[in-house]
């Protein structure tokens, strides 16, 4: 008489489950759908020995029993329903030798359902190449089950698996995790209410949205009463369950699983050895950064100059073509100059995101995250802080939002507070224009000083974030720690389409979002610069003509003098002059002061503001760069010299010059306290560093 047994193959996606299924069933398989849903149901049969036949069910891939998709629900429903004709006599959990840690989460959950569960470690042929060693006996002892190393490629281990399946009754059904360690009160009460039920099964019934009609409902009639706890509390318990499981998995693998990367021979491991090396990993990362910043300067200078001169020509053209009047002046001096201040930076932004997306696409960015994680933990930042810190190089707003997945409030708060130090793309225009004005375009050993300065500014921002985190870590107290798992994707060639989409999206949003703000601010600034209170403004022409009547000035010189005098006595001039005493020690004049105030809305407004202010005062055909380079102090020396430039760059590196970031920090922390502290402390740091830089260098 033939004995039939049901075997369920379960595993994470991409663990080679289907290969094991094929190796067991050969051609004896059929594919259908689960009733009512379009989830594929694969079944096959396998003769284990003369008298035992196995009906093998290949269940959809799932990462855990905390189902989040229909595919995963199929697995949970089947494993909880003993009356289902497919209910397995034995479960085979297929894992991938390289990702055993992640795969064991699902294994421990299935084992706790008290079904005989076999652990298959697939792709065992990779072990030597990857430098992996596993103590199988000890692993069997710790997991209280049978473990089989299988390689479907080398057709090894399948016969041993068949033998274990024949003898499945000898496999222990003892659970691995005691649910009362998750929450003693909750699970003890659950046990008292349903004394003859498995606690873990009850827990799954309560937390999973499974189809209750299929369950043994008569045995758990009031399972819903245990839903009295709020959804968020149940979610918290689920998280605690996952953490408990990973803690025990970590401990087991510490004793049984070794990866010696130095012994690994495959290309990926060799590359990983180098790219995440304790020393060379950082060297390579900094070399890549250096190349990126060099390229940004070298490649973008031609389009940048072209755009700059085009806008200057456009402004001049508008002045000559449109009838003279207030609107013509507003468009030529306000709108066009202001917009020129943003469009000019399209090439740099596009190149920056081109490089970032290539690094992401190739899989290198995950290695950077891993590399940084190792370094950051010492400074009180979570491994999960790395992603917000890296995405902060694009914009602090999504970066602050990305901190939501940090469970530990202290680590999350520290990350939120230090993220604005990382150099966002809005700082790039300010840095670019100042670097091109004050840093010589020379090279040393082929390295451009300008690119090097830009890289230095990115690093200084990151360094300040780490130092601040370290200080905050000492000031704020919290007993908990969060866990961080990063999966290293395989290396691959970047997909051109994905890169192009990222570059387009980022550049477009930079131009559209910042462009609208800059346009609005430029218009208001123009009004404030073109009108003023009192006699001085309205009689500017008369006053200046009288003042210089003894000097032989030509018409153009006289016109410039009048324009400067008017600007000084305009509304914006008065505002700038009011704050001048505070910023004078930093090497800034009142016009830069205006740019500092207006760029509080968004940092990139700085260049647009100066372009607008100078265009009211100077010739329209001049480019932004020449206007800024031509600015002088009262003693005739250049305003934008090295001390002022460095002082300004440091100010922008550290100051919290972004209203939108403050708003999002308020939203995420639900109080004005933290954005207030952030604004105050960052402004103080920025002011002091700028002051020191100017006073030392001048």
Partner 1 sequence: MEIFQYTVAIFLGLWALYYLIRKFRPKNKPATVQGCGRGCGC
Binding site for partner 1 (CB under 8 A): 232, 235-236, 323, 325-328, 330, 335, 404, 406-409, 412-413, 516-517, 519-521, 523-524, 527, 601, 659-660, 663, 666-671
Nearer CB in complex with partner 1: 30/235: 235
Nearest to 207, CA basis, from 239, 190, 242, 231: 231
Q: How far are the Cα atoms of 10, 102, 612, 648, 655 from residue 599, in angstroms, in the given order?
A: 56, 47, 13, 13, 11
Nearer CB in complex with partner 1: 95/382: 382
Residue 151's beta-bridge partner residues?
A: 156
Nearest to 685, CA basis, from 654, 659, 646: 654
CA–CA separation, 173 vs 163, rounded Å? 18
Nearer CB in complex with partner 1: 462/510: 510
* Distance of closest approach, residue 522 Cβ to partner 1, in angstroms: 8
Instruction: 188-195: list long-range contacts, CB under 8 Å, 24+ apart.
Output: 190/226, 193/222, 193/225, 193/226, 194/219, 194/220, 194/223
CA–CA separation, 267 vs 259, rounded Å? 16
Which residue spans within 415-569 are E strands per DSSP?
Answer: 443-444, 447-448
**Tokens of residue 572, six digits:** 């914006």
CA–CA separation, 311 vs 317, rounded Å? 10
Are 359 and 352 spatial neighbours (Cβ–Cβ below 8 Å)?
A: no
Question: Quick count: other Cβ atoms within 10 Å of Cβ 145?
Answer: 21
**Tokens of residue 634, six digits:** 């009262």
* Distance of closest approach, residue 377 Cβ to partner 1, in angstroms: 18
* Distance of closest approach, residue 144 Cβ to partner 1, in angstroms: 33
Nearer CB in complex with partner 1: 148/665: 665
* Distance of closest approach, residue 350 Cβ to partner 1, in angstroms: 25
Are 244 and 72 spatial neighbours (Cβ–Cβ below 8 Å)?
A: no
Nearer CB in complex with partner 1: 531/548: 531
Q: How far does CA 322 lie from the centroid of its chain?
A: 47
* Distance of closest approach, residue 442 Cβ to partner 1, in angstroms: 41
* Distance of closest approach, residue 514 Cβ to partner 1, in angstroms: 11
CA–CA separation, 491 vs 272, rounded Å? 10
* Distance of closest approach, residue 669 Cβ to partner 1, in angstroms: 5
Nearer CB in complex with partner 1: 157/675: 675
CA–CA separation, 593 vs 153, rounded Å? 69
Nearer CB in complex with partner 1: 32/325: 325
Nearer CB in complex with partner 1: 312/406: 406
* Distance of closest approach, residue 467 Cβ to partner 1, in angstroms: 23
* Distance of closest approach, residue 323 Cβ to partner 1, in angstroms: 6
* Distance of closest approach, residue 212 Cβ to partner 1, in angstroms: 27
* Distance of closest approach, residue 235 Cβ to partner 1, in angstroms: 7
Nearer CB in complex with partner 1: 328/560: 328
Nearer CB in complex with partner 1: 326/459: 326
DSSP code for 632: B
SS (H, E, C) 47-59: ECCCCEEEEEEEC
Nearest to 421, CA basis, from 398, 450, 393, 386: 393
Instruction: Order across the sheet with 90-96: list the strands.
Output: 29-33, 40-47, 52-58, 3-11, 90-96, 117-122, 147-149
Are 567 and 613 spatial neighbours (Cβ–Cβ below 8 Å)?
A: yes
Q: How far does CA 584 lie from the centroid of its chain?
A: 38
The DSSP result for 11-52, as a single string, is E-TTSSHHHHHHHHHTT-EEEEE-TTS--EEEEEEEE-SSSE
CA–CA separation, 276 vs 375, rounded Å? 12
β-pairing verdict for 52-58 and 3-11:
parallel
Nearer CB in complex with partner 1: 271/523: 523
* Distance of closest approach, residue 330 Cβ to partner 1, in angstroms: 5
* Distance of closest approach, residue 327 Cβ to partner 1, in angstroms: 4
Are 389 and 419 spatial neighbours (Cβ–Cβ below 8 Å)?
A: yes
Nearer CB in complex with partner 1: 113/406: 406
Nearer CB in complex with partner 1: 270/673: 673
* Distance of closest approach, residue 526 Cβ to partner 1, in angstroms: 9
Helix and strand element counts for the chain (H, E) = 32, 11
Nearer CB in complex with partner 1: 263/407: 407
């Amino acid at each position: 008489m033939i004995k039939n047994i049901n075997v369920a193959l379960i595993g994470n996606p991409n663990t080679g489950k289907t290969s094991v299924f094929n190796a067991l069933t050969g051609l004896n398989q059929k594919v259908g759908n689960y009733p009512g849903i379009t989830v594929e149901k694969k079944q096959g049969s396998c003769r284990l020995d003369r008298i035992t036949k196995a009906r093998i069910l290949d269940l959809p891939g799932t990462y855990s029993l905390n189902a989040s998709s229909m595919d995963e629900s199929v697995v949970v429903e089947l494993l909880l329903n003993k009356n289902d004709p497919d209910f397995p006599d034995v479960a085979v959990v297929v894992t991938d030798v390289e990702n055993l840690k992640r795969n064991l989460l699902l294994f421990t959950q299935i084992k706790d359902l008290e079904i005989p569960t076999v652990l298959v470690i697939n792709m065992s042929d990779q072990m030597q190449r990857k430098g992996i060693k596993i103590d199988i006996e000890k692993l069997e002892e710790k997991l209280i089950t049978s473990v089989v190393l299988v390689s479907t490629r080398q057709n090894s281990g399948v016969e041993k698996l068949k033998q274990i399946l024949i003898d499945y009754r000898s496999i222990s059904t003892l659970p691995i995790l005691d649910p009362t360690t998750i929450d003693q009160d909750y699970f003890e009460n659950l046990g008292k209410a349903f004394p003859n039920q498995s606690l873990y099964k009850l827990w799954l019934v309560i937390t999973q949205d499974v189809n209750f009609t299929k369950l043994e409902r008569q045995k758990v009639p009031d399972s819903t009463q245990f839903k009295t706890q709020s959804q968020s509390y149940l979610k918290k318990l689920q998280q605690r369950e996952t953490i408990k499981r990973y803690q025990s998995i970590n401990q087991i693998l510490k004793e049984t699983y070794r990866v010696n990367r130095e012994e690994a021979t495959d290309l990926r491991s060799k590359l990983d050895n180098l790219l995440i090396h304790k020393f060379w990993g950082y060297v390579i990362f900094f070399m890549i950064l250096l190349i990126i910043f060099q390229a940004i300067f070298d490649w973008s200078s031609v389009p940048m100059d072209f755009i700059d001169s085009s806008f200057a020509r456009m402004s001049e053209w508008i002045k000559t073509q449109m009838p003279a009047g207030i609107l013509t002046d507003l468009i030529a001096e306000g709108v066009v100059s202001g917009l020129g201040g943003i469009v000019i930076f399209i090439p740099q932004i596009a190149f920056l995101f081109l490089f970032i997306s290539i690094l992401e696409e190739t899989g290198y960015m995950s290695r950077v995250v891993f590399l940084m994680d190792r370094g950051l933990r010492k400074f009180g930042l979570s491994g999960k802080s790395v992603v917000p810190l890296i995405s902060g190089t694009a914009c602090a707003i999504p970066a602050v939002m990305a901190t939501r997945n940090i469970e530990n409030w202290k680590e999350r708060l520290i990350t939120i507070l230090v993220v604005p130090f990382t150099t966002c793309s809005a700082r790039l225009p300010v840095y670019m224009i100042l670097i091109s004005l004050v840093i010589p375009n020379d090279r040393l050993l082929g390295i451009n000083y300008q690119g090097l300065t830009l890289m230095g500014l990115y690093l200084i921002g990151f360094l300040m974030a780490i130092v601040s985190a370290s200080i905050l870590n000492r000031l704020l107290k919290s007993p908990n720690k969060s866990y961080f798992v990063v999966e290293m994707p395989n290396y691959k060639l970047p997909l051109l389409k994905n890169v192009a989409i990222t570059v387009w999206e980022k550049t477009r949003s930079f131009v559209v979002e910042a462009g609208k703000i800059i346009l609005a601010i430029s218009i208001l600034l123009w009004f404030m610069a073109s009108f003023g209170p009192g006699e001085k403004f309205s009689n500017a022409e008369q006053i200046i003509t009288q003042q210089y009547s003894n000097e032989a000035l030509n018409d153009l010189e006289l016109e410039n003098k009048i324009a400067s005098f008017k600007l000084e006595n305009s509304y914006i001039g008065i505002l700038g002059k009011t704050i001048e005493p505070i910023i004078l020690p930093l090497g800034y004049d009142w016009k830069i002061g205006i740019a500092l105030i207006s760029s509080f809305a968004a940092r990139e407004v700085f260049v647009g503001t100066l372009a607008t202010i100078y265009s009211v005062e100077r010739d329209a055909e001049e480019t932004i760069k020449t206007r800024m380079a031509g600015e002088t102090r009262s003693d005739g020396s250049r305003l934008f010299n090295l001390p002022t430039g460095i002082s300004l760059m440091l100010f922008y590196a550290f100051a919290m010059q972004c209203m939108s970031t403050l708003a999002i920090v308020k939203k995420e922390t639900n109080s004005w306290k933290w954005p207030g502290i952030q604004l105050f402390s960052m402004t103080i740091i920025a002011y002091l560093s700028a002051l020191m830089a100017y006073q030392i260098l001048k």
